[in-house]
């Protein structure tokens, strides 16, 4: 069974974490497979907690979507290290780590749409 794990940074600010949870819920309502969220740090659930729960639910292939703009240390080092530890722990699980949002045309379009009302 497949699932999606969306990873955000996490925040000490409750409203930031709630906004992320809302995003995960919205995506979950649009997909026909299980979708969970996790925080890299500062908030719960952690990546480890979410992956273990997904595994217990029978999900053995997890598409990992980092909700980060650019491919810095979190994307290139911290998240892959956590996933590797979980792979060793759980064994028969597969992770597919996608690229960060970066310069995706939809991100660029969203930014331009935000600016549009103020350009005149």
Helices 47-56 and 79-90: crossing angle in degrees, nearest 10, is 30
In whole angstroms, give the CA distance from residue 87 to residue 90: 5
Q: pLDDT tens, 54-72?
A: 999 999 999 999 999 998 9
Number of folded domains that form the chain: 1
The pLDDT of residue 71: 87
Q: Domain range holding 24?
A: 2-118
In whole angstroms, give the CA distance from residue 27 to residue 35: 7
Q: State which residues of the chain have pLDDT below 70.
A: none
3-state secondary structure of 32: coil
CATH number at residue 85: 3.40.50.1400
8 Å CB contact between 60 and 94: yes
The pLDDT of residue 73: 93
The pLDDT of residue 48: 98
């Amino acid at each position: 069974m497949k699932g999606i794990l969306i990873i955000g940074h996490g925040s000490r600010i409750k409203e930031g974490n709630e906004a992320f949870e809302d995003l995960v819920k919205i995506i979950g309502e649009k997909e026909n497979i299980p979708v969970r969220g996790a925080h890299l740090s500062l908030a719960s659930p952690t990546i480890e907690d979410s992956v273990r729960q997904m595994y217990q639910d029978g999900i053995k292939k997890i598409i990992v979507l980092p909700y980060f703009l650019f491919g810095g240390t979190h994307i290139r080092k911290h998240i892959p290290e956590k996933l590797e530890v979980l792979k060793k722990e759980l064994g028969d699980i597969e992770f597919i780590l996608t690229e960060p949002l970066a310069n995706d045309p939809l991100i660029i379009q969203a930014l331009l749409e935000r600016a549009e009302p103020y350009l005149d």
